[in-house]
Structure 1
């Protein structure tokens, strides 16, 4: 079986969610002797043609020169190359900048698409862009033989809106089992005496609501904001909270070991994501022993159920910060770790993708 993975910036992961997923999936499939190809941006720091048995195809990607429009060109170049191959299955990660080229996808390959989150709901986009993203979503559905949802909420949405079934396969994580308190010294932190969030600094991730709650709570302990802040919204946030020295903008951190340790030793972990499916950072927080305070919405509640504290306002955030102690809730921590081990562990997830690929090979193109 020849499988291609399109829609990420490439592997090994130097960026984020889809890239980390592609890394785990491609490596696992290659170890099982599948013929796997992953498409990489030509700007990706890894320049070799193979990685752990996975074939790497580097395609021209001008995003760093011309911005978002470059994503469309990169996806076009990937699809154009794929047309000349003989892939049995093409797995598309997302649809935002690729579905406009859907007609060009290889006719003989089976196309299965992970539909990601509800991109058109992101408040950072203008109404015009949101309308385009809804159109792109419809094209993603139209030009795919099969659909994958990474949350039950997305699966229900696709069924209700498009009358299209999809297979539910969530994102994954690995249990974190070797904490090292020495990591805290670099950030001048003490165990259980700081709280944090890890997210892209975007409005729909409720960063401002959380930080307003930090200010309202008037606690002296440090609150870390981990995420790239060299953006318009990031600069706005840094300026708004510059009078509060306990709110510390660290910038993005990509070292998973550092992130795991910061989550493990934190008092509270705030997860404000409100758009999309099984969010990678949420599973990683569960897997690294964080006590989670999550924004109250169907996506988060489907995963966490009763094993979280929930907020919907700055007042809720302030109340949680002033009343909750991590050491008082060992059962919640254990329940979330058990979910990772029994439901969301990476080898389980990659196994579900393998089963999906075998199933659609039997069924053929829809």
Structure 2
């Protein structure tokens, strides 16, 4: 996987959802149990936050678990469904106050790479591969797999807004060499050259 850092993206694309920059937390991913959107929503709703939690994503089939999530009624929750316009998605990433990454399995994740590239302050589930991607806390904070831990990290994020801003400023540095597309491409080419020599 790789990602390219992005420069600033206009917040005008947020008007579609009546959002403003830094007034919301963001989740991007399929609405499946191992991405833990339910846990993040539960913990967020237990917090005193006046921000919104924007959930981007869905499942391409009828699913009782996802439907129950989308039926939760709270003015702080915004389910956008799939966002296919790349400019709209870029704006949602670029202007969020914090990006929640609850993916529990799968290793290196392209959604988190995008979040780094768009300069997000990342709040990630504490897993070995999330630790690796965020360089053991250098480029994000971690929460445990329980709603109380999510509630606490929401409170921490809102009480330490300067540190969140610092995470945003250094996020693109988190796309270290191994996630740089030029480096990734060169590694693939080297494999092909090696195979061609055989």
TM (norm. structure 2) is 0.88
Deviations 1:159-204 (A, max 9, x none): xxxxxxxxxxxx1111110310211211101111111100111101
- Per the alignment, residue 194 of structure 2 pairs with 359
Aligned pairs for 1:84-233 (under 5 A) are 171-229=1-59, 231-232=62-63, 233=65
Unpaired segments ≥5 residues, structure 2: none
Any unmatched runs of 5+ in structure 1?
A: 1-170
Q: Secondary structure at the match of 2:84?
A: coil
Q: How does 1:273-288 map to 2 (within 5 A)?
A: 273-288=103-118
> Are residue 297 (structure 1) and residue 112 (structure 2) matched?
no
Contact between 2:2 and 2:179, CA under 8 Å: does it hold in 1?
A: yes
Normalising by structure 1, we get a TM-score of 0.49
Residue 323 (str. 1) matches residue 156 (str. 2):
yes
Q: Distance in 2 between matches of 1:348 and 1:330?
A: 28
Secondary structure of the residue aligned to 1:324 is: helix
- Structure 1: distance between partners of 2:169 and 2:132: 17
The answer to whether the 8 A contact 1:175-1:341 is kept is no
Distance of 2:133 and 2:176 partners within structure 1: 14
Match of 2:143 among 305, 311, 314: 311
Q: Give, in whole Å, the separation in 1 of the partners of 2:195 and 2:126.
A: 35
Segments ≥4 residues shifted beyond 4 Å: none
Task: State yes or no: 1:340 paired with 2:175.
Answer: yes
Q: Deviations over 1:124-159 (max 9, x none)?
A: xxxxxxxxxxxxxxxxxxxxxxxxxxxxxxxxxxxx
2:175 aligned counterpart, secondary structure:
helix
In 2, are the aligned partners of 1:222 and 1:246 still within 8 Å (CA)?
Answer: yes
Instruction: Determine the C-alpha separation between the residues in 2 that align with 1:227 and 1:188.
Output: 18
Shift of 1:346: 1.9
Cα distance, 1:211 vs structure 2: 0.5
Name the SS for the 1:249 alignment partner.
strand
Q: CA RMSD in A?
A: 1.8
Q: Deviations over 1:303-362 (max 9, x none)?
A: 102121111121111112122145434443344312326431222212211112112333
Report 1 or 2 for greater relative contact order, CA contacts < 8 Å, sequence distance ≥ 6: 2
Q: How many residues align?
A: 191
